[in-house]
């Protein structure tokens, strides 16, 4: 068994030159929201789910983006309702949220 069942990586990149980036879409707030909800749901910790910040994942034009590993599923989201769907469906029940998936 791996140390964590899965990792959720949030791109929170902020580009200084003004080009589109996940940081412009409140990605840090999204990360904080999902991290809190994972803890509240009892998923955090060894054998559970780890929510991490990632640097640029080079998909800013599709963002904001997160990647769930080891499932290798990429998502975009618009706000906490979408993140809650990812939590409830994917992280709790193992069912990817098709409407939010990006091509792998």
pLDDT recorded at residue 4: 95
pLDDT recorded at residue 1: 62
End-to-end CA distance of the chain: 25
- Rounded to two decimals, the pTM is 0.92
Encode pLDDT of 14-37 as tens digits: 777 777 777 777 899 999 999 999
Encode pLDDT of 68-86 as tens digits: 999 999 999 999 999 999 9
pLDDT recorded at residue 12: 87
pLDDT > 70: what percent of the chain?
99
CATH architecture observed for domain 21-102: 3-Layer(aba) Sandwich (3.40)
Residue in 23, 17, 32, 36 with CA at minimum distance from that of residue 65: 23
In this structure, the number of other CB atoms found within 10 A of the CB of residue 34 comes to 22
Which token pair is 59? 């998909």
């Amino acid at each position: 068994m791996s140390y964590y069942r899965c990792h959720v990586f949030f791109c929170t990149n902020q580009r200084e030159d003004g080009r589109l980036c996940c940081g412009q879409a409140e990605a840090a707030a999204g990360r904080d929201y999902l991290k809190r909800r994972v803890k509240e749901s009892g998923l955090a910790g060894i054998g559970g789910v780890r929510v991490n910040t990632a640097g640029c994942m080079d998909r800013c034009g599709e963002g904001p983006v997160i990647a769930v590993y080891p499932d290798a599923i990429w998502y975009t989201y618009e706000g906490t309702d979408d993140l809650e769907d990812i939590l409830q469906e994917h992280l709790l029940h193992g069912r990817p949220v098709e409407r939010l998936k990006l091509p792998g």
